[in-house]
Amino acid sequence: PLEEASLVIRWPAEYHQDYHWLHPLPWTSSAVSPLAEGQELPRPSRARLPYPHVLSFVQMQDAWRLPGQYIVVLKKETRKPQTSRTATHLQARAAKHGYQTQILHVFVELFRGFIVKMSSDVLPLALKLPHVDYIEEDSYVFAQSIPWNLGRIVPILTDCNLSVDKGDLVEVYLLDTGVQSNHREIEGRVFVTEFENVPDEDGTRFHRQASKCDSHGTHMAGVVSGRDAGVAKGASVRSLRVLNCQGKGTVSGILIGLEFIQRTLATQPYSPLVVLLPLAGGYSRILNAACRLMVQMGVAIIAAAGNYKDDACLYSPAAEPEVITVGATNVEDQPASMGSLGTNFGRCVDVFAPGDDIIGASSDCSTCFTSQSGTSQAAAHVAGIAAMILNTNPGLSISELRQRLIHFSIKSLINEAWFPEDQRLLTPNRVAGLPPKLVADMGPLRSPDEELCSSLSKNGKQRGTRIEDNGGRKECVAHNRFGGQGVYGIARCCIWPKADCQINTLSEGSAVQSVSCTKDTHVLTGCSSHSPVGEFIGTIRPVLGSESGHDHCIGQAEATVHAFCCHVPSIECKTGIANEAAVMVACDAGWTLTGCNAQAHGNNALGAYSVDNTCVVISSPGSKGARAFVICCRKRLLENEQHSSNYK
């Protein structure tokens, strides 16, 4: 970390998501190695690709790559006719230099681009084409598999049961191996689509046995909606084959599969929809972008965190913030270990779920069952839970679905000592569970200008945060200070048309800083504070419904205090408070966390950060604890916002 530095987070207007960034990830491309039983996978290397200005993220080891096959991504403003034209121009230029190329697939809906087989020597020619944004080497992805599980996700003393009508309004698209659809556990619940895009199996003597080729997909379908061992027993599953008989697929195959789903929805729109990706590969910029686009279309994407006992942020699609990423636990509610491997962890994991020794449908026969383990199984559990939640509340946004998954998870069960020390703070300590009651409720606030802006310092040495308006674009700026060990900036962005929001600021000077929402029609949705010079001790708190009639923020002396005030019809907000050495305050179901602040007792607090709908405040060692202040807001759903039909 620099002695004096600031971290700026800029919000894309269409996102509603928390970002926990100390610095940008240093890589975005390529591959995964085969997952043979008992075999430890090679770790990502730090060697850079030949053209770092386009293939801007590190590659994995050679076994994870798909040499000679590239995904060419064009700029967003490229028109459809220009996509095919660019591919043709590339072939012509390569031919002039004596190189053969083969266009395998052209993308025009999911994104603008194409898949091409060519020599790496052609890359400089491809980079010079006018519409090319970047090029990513294709790579492999793999299935992540290595009856206590159903009992674990059902809450105690609840009227929620896994009855046959749960999830019947929801479709789950499963991108996996083949599926034995005539298995009694899933017969009539699984529709095998005509889609298939898989690489050849390794080894000339490999025999394609149905029991082997359909093993992983059949087990996944059974965990999601199986009659006996399934979570959402009423959900329907549509199977797309993207993994071969060895459980091996490619990034390009996943992309074509997502495009297939997109085209299907264009001809027959359906909601709610869940896409299950029980697989993982090396970090892929284009795969993450494609998943992000699907989420923006209203599709919930749930992915395996990976079985590499590593930071999930190094793998795709797990690393994409808009994807709901799932780690695995065992029967003891501890991180699942699989030989020398184990569940991935870190800030990119949203929730853990049962993933060790899971009983499900076996492809060996139509009545057989088997046990499998891995983050694939954990992701399938969460896909089933998501289907049951969406079955009751089909109008939920993906962010609202994520909030419910986190809110109804079981907290603080996992022994954090299992994780590396630098990952313990960032890894969520929660195991997914079903809500006590599956009933429709009120929807949380969504506003285009409402943000949460907070920060966390490793050693408490920071200068706070501030919200800035930079040319009409809101920015959350977190400040490190001399002697600091780095600062995390945490931001949240929401969408709500016709919101009128403004930032009110009061500069330092008085003994106690207080800045108000000056208009009676505005509601305080967030506070931030920073010290331009000197020490920031993390003292800032919101006050709603004061005697003056105006909501306001109170901060320490010698600091600049910022109040974020919004006017939206039917908005209502409330505050919450808690006191402990390590404080966690969650908004109730139906409320959105819009403010998260820390107030130290004596010594410094390390800061405050949000984990979806929960505010976490941590005190520095030896301190007297801290207080957490939260602001939670919501609006009531109108009757016409409820969907009476899944097809639109």
What tens digit of pLDDT does each residue of 420-468 get? 998 998 899 999 988 776 654 433 333 344 456 776 666 666 667 766 6
Q: Mean pLDDT highest for which of 133-142, 488-497, 559-568?
A: 133-142
Q: Give residue 168's pLDDT.
A: 84
Q: Token pair 């698209």 is at which residue?
A: 173
The β-bridge relationship of strands 369-372 and 410-411 is: unpaired
Q: Give residue 130's pLDDT.
A: 93
Ramachandran class of 313: left when φ > 0, alpha when ψ lies in -120 to 50, beta otherwise: alpha
Whole-number Å distance between alpha carbons of 318 and 410:
21
Q: How many CB atoms lie within 10 A of CB 61?
A: 17
**pTM of the full predicted structure?**
0.66
Residue 103: pLDDT band (50, 70, 90) is: very high
Q: Token pair 């071969």 is at which residue?
A: 244
Assigned token pair, 103: 């266009």
For residue range 111-159, what is the model confidence (pLDDT) as tens digits? 999 999 999 999 999 999 999 999 999 999 988 765 445 555 555 444 4
For residue range 33-90, what is the model confidence (pLDDT) as tens digits? 333 333 333 333 333 334 433 443 334 456 788 989 999 999 999 999 999 999 999 9
Q: How many CB atoms lie within 10 A of CB 64?
A: 22
Residue 472: partners with Cβ closer than 8 Å, 6 or more residues away:
none
Number of alpha carbons in the 13 Å side-chain half-sphere of residue 437: 4
- Is the dihedral angle over the CA atoms 404, 407, 410, 411 positive or is it negative? positive
Whole-number Å distance between alpha carbons of 345 and 371:
23
Q: Token pair 């004061």 is at which residue?
A: 546
Query: Phi, psi at residue 632, to the nearest 5°?
Result: -120, 130
Residue 22: pLDDT band (50, 70, 90) is: very low
Whole-number Å distance between alpha carbons of 96 and 100:
10
Q: Give residue 567's pLDDT.
A: 75
Catalytic residue among 16, 18, 145, 176: 176
Q: Between the CA atoms of 75, 81, 83 and 85, what dihedral angle is there, to the nearest 10 degrees?
A: -120
Whole-number Å distance between alpha carbons of 496 and 445:
8
Q: Give residue 174's pLDDT.
A: 97
* Catalytic annotation present for 376: yes
100: burial class by Cβ within 10 Å (0-12, 13-18, 19+)?
exposed
Assigned token pair, 293: 């686009």
Assigned token pair, 174: 């499963």
Whole-number Å distance between alpha carbons of 428 and 20:
12
Catalytic residue among 271, 376, 455, 620: 376
Omega before 394 cis (within 30°)? no
Q: Give residue 617's pLDDT.
A: 77
Q: Are 391 and 225 spatial neighbours (Cβ–Cβ below 8 Å)?
A: no
* Catalytic annotation present for 216: yes
Residue 177: pLDDT band (50, 70, 90) is: very high
All domains of the chain in start order, with CATH: 6-16+446-634 (2.60.120.690), 62-139 (3.30.70.80), 142-431 (3.40.50.200)
Largest interatomic CA distance in the chain = 81
Q: Token pair 């491997």 is at which residue?
A: 341
Query: Phi, psi at residue 559, to the nearest 5°?
Result: -135, 160
Q: Give residue 134's pLDDT.
A: 95
DSSP 8-class letter at 141: E
Whole-number Å distance between alpha carbons of 541 and 579:
13
Q: Are 375 and 304 spatial neighbours (Cβ–Cβ below 8 Å)?
A: yes
For residue range 569-609, what is the model confidence (pLDDT) as tens digits? 677 888 877 766 556 777 777 778 888 887 766 555 677 77
Q: What is the mean pLDDT of residues 293-300?
A: 94
User: Coil, strand, or helix at residue 4?
Assistant: coil
Catalytic residue among 16, 131, 216, 219: 216
Whole-number Å distance between alpha carbons of 257 and 241:
8
Query: Is residue 161 over pLDDT 60?
Result: no
Whole-number Å distance between alpha carbons of 386 and 380:
10
Q: Token pair 């946004």 is at which residue?
A: 397
The angle that helices 375-392 and 398-407 make with each other, rounded to 10 degrees, is: 110
Residue 9: pLDDT band (50, 70, 90) is: very low
Q: Are 112 and 76 spatial neighbours (Cβ–Cβ below 8 Å)?
A: yes
Q: What is the mean pLDDT of residues 629-637?
A: 74
Closest by CA position to 613, among listed 483, 521, 499, 494: 494
Q: Give residue 451's pLDDT.
A: 57
Closest by CA position to 435, among listed 608, 590, 257, 628: 590
Q: Give residue 114's pLDDT.
A: 98
User: Coil, strand, or helix at residue 112?
Assistant: coil
Whole-number Å distance between alpha carbons of 492 and 592:
11
Q: Give residue 633's pLDDT.
A: 82
Mind giving me the DSSP string for 137-201?
A: EEEEEEE----HHHHHHSPSS-S----TTTTTT-EEEEEES---TTSTTTTTTEEEEEEE--PPP
Closest by CA position to 373, among listed 416, 412, 327: 327
Residue 492: pLDDT band (50, 70, 90) is: low
- Is the dihedral angle over the CA atoms 374, 375, 378, 383 positive or is it negative? negative
